[in-house]
Amino acid sequence: PIPIKGFKTYGGSWTVTATGQLTGSAGDGPKLESQLPAFTDGEVSVDLFFADGQAGNAGLIVRLARAGTGADNFDGYEVALDPGRQVLCLGRHRHDFQHIRDVPCEVAVGAWIKLTAKLAGATLEVLVNDRSVTRHDDTAAALLSGTVGLRQWRREARYRNLRVKTGGQEQTLAFEQDVA
């Protein structure tokens, strides 16, 4: 597969359209890790598109660190939408999977959905289309620093408009294939 500029790939197939949309293939947890430096507090958002309601989920990994190829081979919080079950899935990974909760949530098929994670200390708030869906205080087991990534679980998904806001400054991370 052709690499994506500014990202490191851990499994799966990742392609970029001429309009800058990214498609991630189905699989057992392929990941795309941003090469942004680790940060603590901030906000990360991405627009997701599911072509159908098949099983599986896709979304963000926040506070991502120590990533490698393999389903649970990373540290970070998984913030994913599952159109088949109509839920937001929240989990913690420390080279394993620790389920935090599933929250009933409308997950549209055939339309773009904005998924946002707000990070403040040990607290993680998740918004879907700018509406707060869940808030989790992870004081006892918090991951406090890392970068951002994308991940699918057993289904294809499309992404656009990946944005990271830290220290009052926002940047958009463009999806471009590195053909050099």
Helix H, strand E, coil C: the string for the chain is CCCECCEEEECCCEEECCCCCEEECCCEEEEEEECCCCECCEEEEEEEECCCCCCCEEEEEEEEECCCCCCCCCEEEEEEEECCCCEEEEEEEECCCEEEEEEECCCCCCCEEEEEEEEECCEEEEEECCEEEEEEECCCCCCCCEEEEEEEECCCEEEEEEEEEECCEEEEECCCECCC
Confidence of residue 180 (pLDDT cuts 50, 70, 90): low
Q: pLDDT for 44-54, tens place per residue?
A: 999 999 999 99
Q: Is the pLDDT of residue 116 over 70?
A: yes
Q: pLDDT for 83-98, tens place per residue?
A: 999 999 999 999 999 9
Asked whether the whole model's pTM tops 0.95, one would answer yes
Average pLDDT over residues 104-120: 98
* d(C-alpha 19, C-alpha 15), whole Å: 12
Confidence of residue 66 (pLDDT cuts 50, 70, 90): very high
Q: Is the pLDDT of residue 161 over 80?
A: yes
Q: Is the pLDDT of residue 118 over 70?
A: yes
Average pLDDT over residues 65-80: 97
